[in-house]
Amino acid sequence: MHYLIISIFLFALELIYFRLADTYNIIDKPNHRSSHTNITIRGGGIIFPIAILIAFVLGYVGWALTLAVVLVAIVSFIDDIKPLSQLPRFGSHIIAVLLLAYDLNLFQQALLLLPLVFFVLIGWINAFNFMDGINGITVLYALTAIVSFSFLPIHESNLQLLIIMGLSCLVFGFFNLRKKAKTFAGDVGSISMAVFLGYFMIKTIITTGQLGYILFFAVYGIDAGITIISRIIKKENILEAHRSHLYQYLANEWRYPHIVVSIIYATVQLMVNGIVIYLDQKGMLSILVFLSILFLLTVVYLAARSMVVRKINLNQ
């Protein structure tokens, strides 16, 4: 019953935020790089850090993870309203990662791995933010990860937290998973969710000793990584907004409905996650198997991207 109350409370808070956003003109206006055509409320993803605050009040999450998520949310929300320089944004990411490392006892147990964890988390936070470009993709991908983490016995003690964050996704998805979205997550939503999911990824890998669980983020990681490499080769500024991810080609040039593309991404990732969980339960998730799956996914992605880009070029 208390989950229903939390859901209603989150729904009400989202509606209150919409009223405030309308009043203070917190909106996204489409431009030539946008994948949407209508003026839309920005920052609806503020419901994610609010959800973790609720979980903190209820005693379901520690202060370090809560502070990490809320810190990046505050800085990102300010950036959504009035663009900030790189320093405060990147600075908040660094502090958040250090808080996550503290919560996971990495300073005591895995000091030598800290630089690698730092690099992976910073990369993940930015990749997740880069991939937030069409209706539904962020919320469906987040739900896929949350559901997958919930299936792992090692996270039984965190199940209430995962459920509350899942409920926040459902509330946000009600307004975002549409042909014409009522709201976008904004940096406040995508970056705070990235920090939350990144925490559970590192915790899962450390607890199980299985690097293969990084495949839970494979679809986003491969798309973001290869797109960045492609843009570097073309000597483009990778920090500037663009429309060259595969999902953007599908939604913009191929005119696939946003929701269809988002469902494809989430479904593929859910299938990968199911395979990873199965292989680990059977004791078959070796480094070789992990690398083989990653290689196969990369090849499939490159083939799909090449086909899509080739057809786009032929039609121009």
d(Cα 313, Cα 301) in Å, to the nearest integer?
18
pLDDT at 1: 63
Residues 77-124 pLDDT 10s: 999 999 889 899 999 999 999 999 999 998 877 667 788 889 999 999
Q: Which positions of the chain have pLDDT values less than 50?
A: 32
- Residues 6 or more apart whose CB falls under 8 angstroms from that of 292 comprise none
Nearest to 48 by CA among 122, 175, 124, 142: 142
* Whether the Cβ atoms of residue 203 and residue 121 lie closer than 8 Å to each other: no
User: How far is Cα of residue 34 from the mean position of the Cα atoms in its chain?
Assistant: 19
Domain spans, the chain: 2-315
pLDDT at 36: 52
Q: Residue 209: helix, strand or coil by DSSP?
A: coil
**Beta bridge partners of residue 40, listed in sequence order:** 28
Nearest to 44 by CA among 69, 70, 18: 18
Nearest to 251 by CA among 259, 140, 175: 259
pLDDT at 4: 95
Token readout for 46 is 């503020």
Residues 221-240 pLDDT 10s: 999 999 999 888 888 887 77
